[in-house]
């Protein structure tokens, strides 16, 4: 059975395909690959892929609230 796609989803997909055709070329890819943000993201994702990432030791209000909720059985 084919899944129905909403009008918004369909047009977002169509807009993405148009964007891909317009901007996905070798020159644009080359320019994006030399950007510092691209290099930083590749480095971060490679690190996460190769190492076990457990989280942070810094306690924020969100974590404390979660811990309190868990201790109360919420």
Mean pLDDT per 10-residue segment, the chain (74 residues): 60 82 82 89 91 72 53 54
| Structural domain range at position 67 | 7-71
Q: In whole angstroms, what is the distance from residue 72 CA to residue 57 CA?
A: 22
- Residue 1: inside a domain, yes or no? no
- Residue 2: inside a domain, yes or no? no
| DSSP-derived 3-state class of residue 53 | coil
- Domains contained in the chain, number: 1
- Residue 34: inside a domain, yes or no? yes
- Residue 60: inside a domain, yes or no? yes
Q: In whole angstroms, what is the distance from residue 47 CA to residue 34 CA?
A: 19
- Residue 29: inside a domain, yes or no? yes
| DSSP-derived 3-state class of residue 4 | coil
Query: For the whole model, what pTM was predicted?
Result: 0.41
- Residue 33: inside a domain, yes or no? yes
């Amino acid at each position: 059975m084919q899944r129905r796609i909403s009008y918004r989803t369909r047009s977002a997909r169509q807009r993405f395909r148009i964007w891909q055709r317009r901007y996905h070329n070798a020159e644009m890819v080359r320019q994006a690959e030399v950007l510092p943000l691209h290099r930083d993201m590749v480095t971060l994702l490679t690190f996460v892929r190769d190492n076990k990432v457990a989280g942070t030791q810094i306690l924020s209000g969100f974590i404390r609230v979660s811990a309190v909720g868990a201790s109360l059985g919420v």
